[in-house]
Copies of this chain bind each other. A is one copy, B any other.
Amino acid sequence: MQITDINGVYASGTHCGIKDSGSLDLAYIYVPNCVGSSVVLSQNLIRSATLDHNEEVFNTGPVKLMIINSGNANSVTGEVGMVHVQDTVAKASECFGCLPTEVGVASTGIIGVPLPIHLLLNGLEQFSGTEKNGVACAKAILTTDLVSKTASRTIQIQGHDVHFSGITKGSGMIAPNMATTLGFIVTNLALDSITCKALLQYSIDNSYNMLSVDTDQSTNDMVSLQSSGELVLSLNENDMKAVQHALTELCIDLVKQIAKDGEGAQHVIEVHVDGAQTKADARSVAKLVVDSPLVKTAVAGEDPNWGRILMALGKDPSVTIVQGLLSIRINDHPIFTNGHPESIDRPGLKAVMADFNIVISIVIGNGPYQATAWGCDLTHGYIDINTEYN
């Protein structure tokens, strides 16, 4: 399923010339009857003019149109950066017939270089606004990604099909020279902007915000949600839970695709923490383990090195850990139980760690909270990509 398989959602991608390679570099997502929308933006202090613009328009009302370019991040480009955002918005609102306050902008690619704005503005004229080409849109937002990333979830509510569909990009939290994690999600379910905001923030906190390829974060990161308003339902509490769950599952699917396409990744790592006294404790431990260079290199070396996992999970002194209950499993094989190492079958475990997906399950106590984080291993490929980039 593509985002354009949802009624009332139009999208496409084209080559306008920002990328020398000739590959697609300009996309739009248009939801003309959008009834609600929200966006989550990078917390980095150094940020693109696109983020300042989006913060404003998403607070004004439903954002019907997203214009996305790849190949140039329009970041750290000074005053001209904001002028180029305004030029893009003015032209797009003219081409698509909507208000400037209904247009969001996302950029990804090289930073510190002014956008070739005339190419982008000419490119916008190539769109009719009624294309149903989700595949081209998903391709046009990529930079160093090796593959397009799309995901969908459909659930039944009150006998109706509720769809969520999204696309994302990112090859590392940061690809070389600060390429970016972007995500764009659409739904047929009528949701106002306030509801969109609450749903999206929760799902992002439990997916994109638990993803780490290299702990670095971009100046341009954003994920948006737009509702086409087609399916109007009065949602009860259980319905809302189902909607939240579907959106989170969709985001996790997208996040796993980013981890899989992580720079140099030879393994995807999922760290599940249970038994925490607080949600914050669970999140902190999961992220510390998935972020640890020594855990990441152990996974790359397919070595069940529980010592490094213990070291990493102990790094946050504010977390409550019950050492007598500490247990670690890798792909369901116990390696450390109730504070003591298991006498492990090392060759057998090395074979288990040859799996592409490595799930590290950790119990830190008997509390009720849990969290999951995703990442990838640290390999020579990462060093190659990031030392040789210029």
A contact set with B: CB distance below 8 Å: 43-47, 76, 78, 111-112, 174, 176-178, 214-219, 291-294, 297-298, 300-301, 303, 305-308, 310-317, 319, 321, 323, 339-341, 378-380, 382-383, 386-390
The answer, among B177, B300, B301, B316, for a CB contact under 8 Å with A307, is B177
Determine how close the nearest CB of chain B comes to the CB of A289; give it in whole angstroms.
11
Contact A387 B301 (CB under 8 A): yes
The answer, among B46, B291, B308, for a CB contact under 8 Å with A314, is B46
Contact B315 A216 (CB under 8 A): yes
Q: A46-B321, A298-B387 are in contact. List 7 more A-B contacts (CB 8 A).
A: A76-B310, A112-B306, A174-B294, A214-B293, A293-B293, A378-B383, A383-B383
Contact A300 B387 (CB under 8 A): yes
Contact A293 B178 (CB under 8 A): no
Contact B112 A307 (CB under 8 A): yes
Determine how close the nearest CB of chain B comes to the CB of A79; give it in whole angstroms.
10
Report the nearest B residue to A321, measured CB to CB. B45
Contact B389 A379 (CB under 8 A): no
Task: Please name 23 pairs of A and B residues whose Cβ atoms are closer than 8 Å in the assembled complex, sorted by A.
Answer: A44-B311, A44-B315, A45-B314, A45-B321, A46-B323, A47-B314, A112-B306, A112-B307, A112-B341, A174-B311, A215-B215, A215-B291, A216-B308, A216-B311, A216-B312, A216-B315, A217-B311, A219-B311, A293-B293, A297-B382, A297-B383, A297-B386, A301-B390
Contacts of A383 in B (CB 8 A): 297, 300, 378-380, 382-383
| A interface, over-half SS | loop
Report the nearest B residue to A215, measured CB to CB. B293
Cα of A293 to Cα of B217 in the assembled complex, Å: 11
Contacts of A307 in B (CB 8 A): 76, 111-112, 177-178
Contacts of A174 in B (CB 8 A): 294, 311
Contact B216 A293 (CB under 8 A): yes
The answer, among B215, B317, B339, for a CB contact under 8 Å with A78, is B339
Contacts of A177 in B (CB 8 A): 305, 307-308
Contact A298 B47 (CB under 8 A): no
Cα of A120 to Cα of B323 in the assembled complex, Å: 27
Determine how close the nearest CB of chain B comes to the CB of A98; give it in whole angstroms.
31
Contacts of A380 in B (CB 8 A): 380, 383
Report the nearest B residue to A341, measured CB to CB. B112
Determine how close the nearest CB of chain B comes to the CB of A183; give it in whole angstroms.
19
Report the nearest B residue to A177, measured CB to CB. B307
Contacts of A44 in B (CB 8 A): 311, 314-315, 317
